Structure 1
């Protein structure tokens, strides 16, 4: 629990704490020595070698030009508050900041920074760097982020070299204010001023960070290497004990997943998180597995699966008709796809928060119903009276379920798309119902056949489907520009209320947000998000998030597909992890470690060079 002390000003309380959660509860006390799930005595050493697909020409993830190299660059930067621990959510603990204080109304927050914190070039991390980084994101970061933050955080100021204050706008939700301010990555002001670099430019030169790793080497389109900073300032902090255990993290790039898998079999990289069901079911019988050199694990997770599926571009006029979207969704046969193409290994995803306590199921009742009713005409009557929208069921015996296709044809007729002499559907203007559907050539071996089977069913309905298998660079550009009718993409799940919900699902940034591939802009969804942001108890928050899940499913902007209740991982037998693993993060770059004896045995056996 955060400590609370009476304030001399404002007639309220000032809360001082080593961490932050919106409702004030923290799992770990101020004197905690390490997170419960880590091995505090985990050895340091060795390397973790991963794969990435496609190409890269930039190491700056904030540029909207070019293709940036993954997200591993975040291992080099830190923020005032760390990400939430893997055994709790909605909690953050001090990293660059040793403590924080804020008024009871959350009108401002002051972070007290650790004076020992240093960038990798040896210069101190100061409050001036924090303010600079905050403003840099507002000036040169993603427009949707900047717009959201500018109306919420009014000022940031360095009170001295190691004290920084943020002041928040009045009359708005207090959600995602303190954690937003505390979560900004901190960059070196001196480096940016010296080099003249911009945050929004594509570049391979990176600024020094204060994190446990530094960029060591790279070869464009081939590999990126990060090494532990031997002079890392924070390795003895309780928040870091048992974490960041590898001396080196190396990412090897491959043109597609088939080439990547062959490289894994040969030991060119040593840890693989498998996402393709066919590969998992049929291809892990190679000699290294048979000899016990490569281990396979299915690790359960409690974190809701990523809401992936076939996403409609709502910016296209024809796809703004929900009847059309529902009809096109009916052409997807999960049961046949799962049994015939995915070896029966997946479950059908229903919800944006699958298996979470706030997954919507039956007709709304109690607090959720009261919330929806309070929104008046924004909420259709059927949402109040019927269970949450569920994906249709299909017969697994054949790719196309005739019952569902008949329903789809009736909906298309109702929506004004009738079949003409050439078998294609046209509207009253004579326009053919076409669907442009690009997907990347680097995708796993199963995604292509899945999309092709879905497209064949759409063709039966009289839809002219233009499937395009394109290279990753083209695909990135098409995705950014929303140059598609449909795309296989994903949204982010949500375990708590936060302003990030607006970036993902809200109307304000729908036209520009990279996190909203459908361009969803629903007044009902906006109103529910606002209710979630205003919730003042865990019970109110749960009701609002359940209503949000219900509303998102009602809008039918995505055809939900499948999910895996487990993490499939395969690795050369020189890594170890805590047992049990925490529920919310696999953590292979965080709290796994390297076993030098096992690695030496693999080399002596001739398994690895």
Structure 2
């Protein structure tokens, strides 16, 4: 089916990056306090605090949150079960990410990092003060145990990332080194992101897990090293974390001014409408509103009018999640991209946005919306450099203007008529015809499928889409299930179409293979919901780690964006351009909001 071996495709992408790298540095690399994916870290050695945190913030109080659905495990590192929110406060990584840079890491459990220019290995030296909550020091043995355990038993993304380590060893009393396998392809390039990925690896206590089964769900509170530990919980209903008064890392620059609450609590609600009413009654302190209709009409209540509740729209510069109605291409009727493109003409965003969402949304046209990473116009020279070797394996349209979803005049069924006619033309080209009011293939089998949802709030959009599909003979049933059932079906790819999202950062990298890679398509629990199996997309996603500078990365991401959008793997929906938050007067926030948006860990409780 494919005329060019994948090894040659990858080599064509990797050679330019290797040539740009130049000769290896002659000097032996030296330990550093931080590392950036591209360029230099923003903060110098010995910095006092991140700019978006206030070191003078008072400590104390209980921060109450709402969560949707339920939970049945306190182990967030495996596919099984639905983990409770907030467990990231318990477990730490070797390094800490800053949220006012695209991708830079600073010392946490590791006080320093050493990487060579080609990033073929990384060495971490642990902070001698790092301790588990039981007082036991964190050692290189814990780091190696964490790597082996997550590689062998962790979630699919962990198994993929950590499986790229070819050798790991203790190199000193407090140091450990990871050496990476070379990327496939004749050029033999190194993935420059792997050093940072290892810095973000969660570190687990070997002495705690000895004798326990890691790959099983559990309701035993885990031992960690972070600023909080599990204080109490009711399975599926609530969980509370208490701040560690003797937390070993409280005075580090990456932590100063953060983790100010004595307790953080999550109460679970099965219905978001009920959760909103609970917020109005003061049952919890903070709410991020993602429904423009609720934002426009649901916050006119006494506490909001008299100032006890603050409503704010906080700008940011991060990519918004790509939400869409996702086709499961593992289903035979969605394997044809022409069919997927045709069905996309049935979504009337303009009418939905006007009538259901008060015109607040922007149509999503990219997998990296609201950022410089989104493809725009025709591809530039840098994009073409990585796309040309793949020309035979990419849609021809990818080499023209960026994909723009079909639009209407917003008038409703009348305005959608032209789009539906175009959809029918494409379906006819793919061998589908309308017979007795039903769309059937050449064998007379009707197109019928289910749209699987977890949130009742998504029903109105899915139902409008299904109603439009009926006008061209397609029978689409909308089904909403509870969160546990939805998660199980999503992870086993047991759905025809679902409404879900993918989230990316300002520095996309290895996680993109977890989203779109051919290997992930067959791994239950991965986020390749669409079941994409494309050697060209594999090559483009893998090539992100080869970028030597920011401009190169942006070009490579835009090329990948073109391949994804013109592959029609989802019907893109919409996004908001800012964060819309509501919070009770007890909460205070820093004056600075970083590029990734608000950092709730830097907030505090006032009087």
TM-score of the aligned structures, taking structure 2 as reference length: 0.92
Q: Structure 2, unaligned stretches of length 5 or more?
A: 1-23, 183-187
Q: CA deviation at 1:175?
A: 2.1
Provide the C-alpha distance between the structure 1 equivalents of 2:392 and 2:462, rounded to a whole number of angstroms: 37
Check conservation: 2:60, 2:260, Cα contact below 8 A: yes
1:25 corresponds in structure 2 to 40
2:70 corresponds in structure 1 to 55
Provide the C-alpha distance between the structure 1 equivalents of 2:460 and 2:326, rounded to a whole number of angstroms: 17
What is the CA deviation profile of residues 133-173 of structure 1, one whole-angstrom value per residue up to 9, with x for unaligned ones? 111101111245314431x2112222344211111123342
Aligned counterpart for 2:258 among listed residues 243, 246, 256: 243
Check conservation: 2:94, 2:109, Cα contact below 8 A: yes
1:73 corresponds in structure 2 to 87
Higher RCO structure (Cα 8 Å, ≥6 apart): 2
Q: What secondary structure does 1:359 align onto?
A: coil
Check conservation: 2:451, 2:462, Cα contact below 8 A: no
Aligned counterparts, 1:67-146, within 5 A: 67-70=82-85, 72-83=86-97, 85-146=98-159
Check conservation: 2:395, 2:567, Cα contact below 8 A: no
Check conservation: 1:128, 1:161, Cα contact below 8 A: no
Alpha-carbon spacing, 1:381–1:452, altered in 2? closer, same or farther (3 Å): closer
Q: What secondary structure does 1:89 align onto?
A: coil
Provide the C-alpha distance between the structure 1 equivalents of 2:354 and 2:446, rounded to a whole number of angstroms: 33
Aligned counterpart for 1:179 among listed residues 196, 203, 228: 196
Provide the C-alpha distance between the structure 2 equivalents of 1:166 and 1:141, rounded to a whole number of angstroms: 18
What is the CA deviation profile of residues 82-101 of structure 1, one whole-angstrom value per residue up to 9, with x for unaligned ones? 12x11111110010111122
Q: Is 1:425 aligned with 2:436?
A: no
Q: Is 1:541 aligned with 2:556?
A: no
Q: Structure 1, unaligned stretches of length 5 or more?
A: 1-8, 598-609
Moved more, 59-68 or 298-307: 59-68
2:18 corresponds in structure 1 to none
1:605 corresponds in structure 2 to none
Aligned counterparts, 1:478-493, within 5 A: 478-493=489-504
RMSD of the TM alignment (CA)? Answer: 1.7
Q: Is 1:519 aligned with 2:531?
A: yes
Q: CA deviation at 1:49?
A: 0.7
Provide the C-alpha distance between the structure 2 equivalents of 1:313 and 1:380, rounded to a whole number of angstroms: 19
Check conservation: 2:350, 2:407, Cα contact below 8 A: yes
Q: What secondary structure does 2:558 align onto?
A: helix
Aligned counterpart for 2:569 among listed residues 551, 557, 560: 557
Check conservation: 2:522, 2:531, Cα contact below 8 A: yes
2:10 corresponds in structure 1 to none
Check conservation: 1:187, 1:207, Cα contact below 8 A: no
What is the CA deviation profile of residues 387-436 of structure 1, one whole-angstrom value per residue up to 9, with x for unaligned ones? 01111111211146101011111111221121112x11111222110111
Alpha-carbon spacing, 1:497–1:431, altered in 2? closer, same or farther (3 Å): same
Aligned counterpart for 2:596 among listed residues 574, 580, 584: 584
TM-score of the aligned structures, taking structure 1 as reference length: 0.92
Alpha-carbon spacing, 1:11–1:581, altered in 2? closer, same or farther (3 Å): closer
Q: CA deviation at 1:500?
A: 1.7
Alpha-carbon spacing, 1:160–1:399, altered in 2? closer, same or farther (3 Å): farther
2:347 corresponds in structure 1 to 332
Q: Is 1:476 aligned with 2:490?
A: no
Q: CA deviation at 1:11?
A: 4.6
Aligned counterparts, 1:395-434, within 5 A: 395-399=409-413, 401-421=416-436, 423-434=437-448
What is the CA deviation profile of residues 360-403 of structure 1, one whole-angstrom value per residue up to 9, with x for unaligned ones? 1111122112222233422344322x201111111211146101
What is the CA deviation profile of residues 464-516 of structure 1, one whole-angstrom value per residue up to 9, with x for unaligned ones? 11211222222111111211111001112242242222111111222215211
Q: CA deviation at 1:12?
A: 4.1
Provide the C-alpha distance between the structure 2 equivalents of 1:566 and 1:144, rounded to a whole number of angstroms: 29
Aligned counterpart for 2:520 among listed residues 509, 516, 527: 509
Check conservation: 1:12, 1:104, Cα contact below 8 A: no
Provide the C-alpha distance between the structure 2 equivalents of 1:436 and 1:515, rounded to a whole number of angstroms: 19
Alpha-carbon spacing, 1:240–1:22, altered in 2? closer, same or farther (3 Å): same
Check conservation: 2:146, 2:202, Cα contact below 8 A: yes
